[in-house]
Amino acid sequence: RPPESKRQQAANVIFAAGASALTPAAQKSLATILARMKENAAMRLQLMAYAGEAKLSPSKARRLSLSRALAVRSYLIKQGVRSTRIDVRALGNKVTPGAPSRVDLRVLEN
Protein backbone atom coordinates (compact mmCIF):
# COMPACT_ATOMS: atom_id res chain seq x y z
CA ARG A 1 0.00 0.00 0.00
CA PRO A 2 1.26 3.51 -0.74
CA PRO A 3 1.99 5.54 2.41
CA GLU A 4 -0.79 7.88 3.36
CA SER A 5 -0.07 11.53 2.73
CA LYS A 6 0.63 13.53 5.87
CA ARG A 7 -1.17 16.49 4.33
CA GLN A 8 -4.83 16.65 3.70
CA GLN A 9 -6.94 19.44 2.34
CA ALA A 10 -9.19 20.54 5.18
CA ALA A 11 -11.01 23.54 3.80
CA ASN A 12 -10.61 26.52 1.59
CA VAL A 13 -11.67 30.12 1.90
CA ILE A 14 -12.74 31.94 -1.25
CA PHE A 15 -12.15 35.68 -1.52
CA ALA A 16 -13.75 38.26 -3.78
CA ALA A 17 -11.44 39.51 -6.54
CA GLY A 18 -8.95 41.96 -5.09
CA ALA A 19 -10.24 41.49 -1.52
CA SER A 20 -8.50 40.14 1.55
CA ALA A 21 -11.25 40.53 4.16
CA LEU A 22 -12.91 37.43 5.56
CA THR A 23 -16.62 37.28 4.76
CA PRO A 24 -19.17 35.80 7.19
CA ALA A 25 -19.40 32.80 4.83
CA ALA A 26 -15.62 32.36 5.03
CA GLN A 27 -15.74 32.49 8.83
CA LYS A 28 -18.48 29.86 8.76
CA SER A 29 -16.35 27.59 6.57
CA LEU A 30 -13.53 27.89 9.14
CA ALA A 31 -15.77 26.70 12.00
CA THR A 32 -15.25 23.01 11.23
CA ILE A 33 -11.46 23.22 11.08
CA LEU A 34 -11.48 25.36 14.22
CA ALA A 35 -13.42 22.68 16.11
CA ARG A 36 -10.96 20.02 14.92
CA MET A 37 -7.99 22.13 16.07
CA LYS A 38 -9.53 22.61 19.50
CA GLU A 39 -10.02 18.83 19.82
CA ASN A 40 -6.51 17.95 18.65
CA ALA A 41 -3.74 20.04 20.20
CA ALA A 42 -1.09 18.44 17.94
CA MET A 43 -2.86 19.42 14.73
CA ARG A 44 -1.17 22.12 12.66
CA LEU A 45 -2.32 24.01 9.59
CA GLN A 46 -0.58 25.19 6.47
CA LEU A 47 -2.29 28.10 4.72
CA MET A 48 -1.65 28.11 0.96
CA ALA A 49 -2.75 31.55 -0.25
CA TYR A 50 -3.36 32.50 -3.88
CA ALA A 51 -4.19 35.69 -5.77
CA GLY A 52 -4.74 34.76 -9.40
CA GLU A 53 -6.52 37.91 -10.53
CA ALA A 54 -5.66 38.57 -14.16
CA LYS A 55 -4.34 42.14 -13.98
CA LEU A 56 -2.07 41.80 -10.94
CA SER A 57 1.70 41.96 -11.24
CA PRO A 58 3.50 39.01 -9.59
CA SER A 59 4.60 41.18 -6.65
CA LYS A 60 1.09 42.58 -6.08
CA ALA A 61 -0.35 39.07 -6.34
CA ARG A 62 2.11 37.89 -3.68
CA ARG A 63 1.20 40.75 -1.36
CA LEU A 64 -2.53 40.15 -1.83
CA SER A 65 -2.16 36.40 -1.24
CA LEU A 66 -0.13 37.14 1.90
CA SER A 67 -2.77 39.50 3.27
CA ARG A 68 -5.43 36.81 2.62
CA ALA A 69 -3.38 34.20 4.50
CA LEU A 70 -2.83 36.63 7.37
CA ALA A 71 -6.56 37.39 7.52
CA VAL A 72 -7.31 33.67 7.93
CA ARG A 73 -4.44 33.27 10.42
CA SER A 74 -5.48 36.21 12.59
CA TYR A 75 -9.09 34.98 12.62
CA LEU A 76 -7.94 31.54 13.85
CA ILE A 77 -5.68 33.15 16.47
CA LYS A 78 -8.60 35.30 17.72
CA GLN A 79 -10.55 32.05 18.10
CA GLY A 80 -7.87 30.63 20.38
CA VAL A 81 -5.48 28.78 18.04
CA ARG A 82 -1.81 29.41 18.87
CA SER A 83 0.12 31.10 16.07
CA THR A 84 2.84 28.44 16.25
CA ARG A 85 0.33 25.92 14.89
CA ILE A 86 -0.22 27.84 11.64
CA ASP A 87 2.23 28.02 8.71
CA VAL A 88 1.63 30.64 6.03
CA ARG A 89 2.62 30.31 2.36
CA ALA A 90 1.86 33.22 0.04
CA LEU A 91 1.94 31.80 -3.48
CA GLY A 92 0.65 34.86 -5.34
CA ASN A 93 -0.41 34.07 -8.90
CA LYS A 94 1.01 30.49 -8.93
CA VAL A 95 -2.55 29.22 -8.77
CA THR A 96 -3.32 25.52 -8.89
CA PRO A 97 -6.69 24.48 -10.36
CA GLY A 98 -9.61 25.94 -8.44
CA ALA A 99 -10.78 29.43 -7.58
CA PRO A 100 -7.99 31.95 -8.30
CA SER A 101 -8.66 34.00 -5.15
CA ARG A 102 -8.48 31.64 -2.22
CA VAL A 103 -6.63 30.27 0.78
CA ASP A 104 -6.37 26.48 1.04
CA LEU A 105 -6.07 25.08 4.55
CA ARG A 106 -4.02 21.92 4.76
CA VAL A 107 -3.81 19.84 7.88
CA LEU A 108 -0.30 18.80 8.91
CA GLU A 109 -0.74 15.82 11.22
CA ASN A 110 2.10 15.09 13.62
Q: Is the per-residue pLDDT at 7 higher than 80?
A: no
54/102: higher pLDDT: 102
| Average pLDDT across the chain, whole number | 89
Q: What is the pLDDT at residue 11?
A: 85
Q: What is the pLDDT at residue 110?
A: 58
Cα dihedral 25/27/33/39 (nearest 10):
-130
Q: What is the pLDDT at residue 2?
A: 35
Q: What is the pLDDT at residue 86?
A: 97
**Residue 99 banded pLDDT, cuts 50, 70, 90:** confident
Query: For residues 42 and 63, is the Cβ–Cβ distance under 8 A?
Result: no
pTM of the model: 0.89
